[in-house]
Chain A
Amino acid sequence: METPIKKMNTTSKANERIAIAVIWAAAIFVLALLVSIIVHILFNGLPYITWEFLTQIPRNMGRDGGVSSTIVGTFLITIVAIAIALPMGIGTAFYLAEYTRENIVTKIIRFSAESLAGIPSIVYGLFGFIFFVISLDLGWSILSGGLTLALMILPTIIRTSEEAIRAVPVVFREVSYSLGATKFQTIFKAVFPSAMRGIVNGTILSIGRCVAETAAVILTAGSALRMPSSLSSPTRTMAVHFYILAREGISMENAYGTAALIMIIIFLINIVANTIVNRFIAKSR
């Protein structure tokens, strides 16, 4: 006969086994899901990615031709977004980390940044449309799209930069000050270079968000297929192109090709970002 204690131990042991099995199953399920999505898109899309696909502009609403203008559009919008968000984000991060103690102002800044991070992209789209496209009269353009995305990625840049700046050892600052450097010199010559990797990592992840974004871009940059001639041209990004091709059933081949191209870019972005972080960790050990 089992004693009560022994019985309790066997049930709790059985519970533990079940719980661990469930946890492993959940993790493997999620991995399998991710792999199945990636494999499906690449398997169906890679065959369509040819030199012509990459270099020709879309013809016939995207039924024929390639995606070159959408690649250029995505690239330019991302450049604008990063060029605007980077100074604002890094500046905010330095202010929060170096220029002030926690007070009501930093609380409001943090609250704003966290709120911006939670606002849905469609709301950014609405705002970008009414503010940049209509009120500032920039029209549906690369500029409007880039500015809207800049606000969207701002919280990411602020957070990653601040973490990177705070990770720089205090000694760096102390040595710099002891050599007679001013605060500004200390920040630019001692802190900034050491925080560089973290900042680059945040920037790369933000590039990924710009490439992946659809809702905010379609309302602010439009969906024109021709090759943009300036920053005030309307354009269609790869993600928007994929969305329109797939949703309107224009061309499944080109939709899969475009999706595969986006996935490859996102993949590369993540690999680069991870390499940077790993090197950073290796170096700081």
Chain B
Amino acid sequence: MNSNSEKLSHAVFFALALSSISALVLITVFILVQGAPIIAEIGLFKFVFGMTWAPLKGEFGIFPMIVGSVSATIGAAILGVPIGICCAIFLAEFAPPLMRNIFRPAIQLLAGIPSVVYGFWGLIFIVPSIRDHLGGPGLSILAGSIILAIMILPTVISITEVSILALPSSYKEGALALGLNRWQTISSVILPAAKSGIIAAVILGIGRAIGETMAVIMVLGNAVALPESVLDPVRTLTTNIGIEMGYAVGAHRQALFATGIVLFVIIMVLNTTAQYIARRK
């Protein structure tokens, strides 16, 4: 009897363990089934590199949104990654215990704040100051990049910190014993040794930025056009779905799912790369 119940419990746990696999498969299949037909109809090249998004005329080209997503994300990485890495070094190497006990929960809180709140805060603070001091409508790539930079901080900080802390203490001790000062130890020994973890942190942060929707809807301006400067408004792949999904039907809805496919593929490539890099030691 015991061995039967053992077998049963093993089977139950195994079945539960398949939940994440089935979820991933279901998500992939349903998004593909909804979006692939219209990509096939329009042609992948015309869909991805098309310049016009006019749902009422049946024209679906998402190139301006790809440019929007990529530019806002690059901006976020430029602003957020250096700050994030500095914070991680601070936590791992410099923070006095009291600061560490304040800083870690603070980063966790930063990760917990809803994206709509970030977007709203950006709308109230960042957008007007860009409009007043730098010109343009304020709703812009720059505003989006700043908000996204803040939002990717928890990801960049925590993964970088973990990879620094995972290094054997002999690395640091050896470097210090050779007479390097603390900064030389960090810049020439610790950061190079933690490189793969840091790269994974940056890639995951980029993935987070590309996937963010609600915060950027509020600050990017959402215009479907190629931007000429960082002060121009753009629409991203995510905001395209977020704005139009509420009322889209027929081919329009399919085209939004197709936008989702493009987003999904970008994210899967980024995440798989990050997982691969993080595992390779």
User: Chain B: residues with CB nearer than 8 A to chain A?
Assistant: 2, 5-6, 9-10, 12-21, 23-24, 26-27, 30-31, 34, 82-83, 86-87, 89-91, 94-95, 99, 102-103, 105-110, 112-118, 120-121, 123-125, 150, 153, 181-184, 186-187, 204, 207, 210-214, 217-218, 238, 241-242, 245-246, 256-257, 260, 263-264, 267-268, 270-272, 274-275
Report A182 CB to chain B, min CB distance, Å.
6
Q: Is there a chain B Cβ closer than 8 Å to A175's Cβ?
A: no
Q: Is there a chain B Cβ closer than 8 Å to A250's Cβ?
A: no
For chain A, residues 236 to 285, give those with C-beta under 8 angstroms from any C-beta of chain B.
239, 242-243, 246-247, 255, 259, 262-263, 266-267, 269-270, 273-274
Given A119-B211, A121-B213, A122-B260, A154 contacting B23 (CB threshold 8 A)? yes
Q: Is there a chain B Cβ closer than 8 Å to A143's Cβ?
A: no
Report A97 CB to chain B, min CB distance, Å.
10
- Residue from the set A109, A123, A255 with the largest chain B CB neighbour count within 10 Å: A123
Given A91-B13, A246-B123, A23 contacting B20 (CB threshold 8 A)? no
Contact A120 B211, beta carbon cutoff 8 Å: yes
The stretch of A9-17, A53-61, A62-70, A225-233 that contacts the partner chain: A9-17
- Residue from the set A25, A30, A34 with the largest chain B CB neighbour count within 10 Å: A30
Tell me which residues across on chain B come within 8 A of A13, comparing CB atoms: 181
Which residue on chain A has the smallest CB distance to residue B117? Answer: A259
A interface secondary structure, majority: helix
Contact A266 B114, beta carbon cutoff 8 Å: yes
Contact A41 B6, beta carbon cutoff 8 Å: no
B interface secondary structure, majority: helix
Contact B260 A266, beta carbon cutoff 8 Å: no
Contact A122 B213, beta carbon cutoff 8 Å: yes
Known: A119-B27, A267-B109. 5 other contacts (CB 8 A): A23-B86, A24-B90, A96-B17, A112-B24, A266-B113
- The CA of A209 and the CA of B212, in the complex, are separated in Å by 14
Contact of B267 among A113, A120, A125 (CB under 8 A): A120
Tell me which residues across on chain B come within 8 A of A111, comparing CB atoms: 272, 275
Contact B245 A127, beta carbon cutoff 8 Å: no
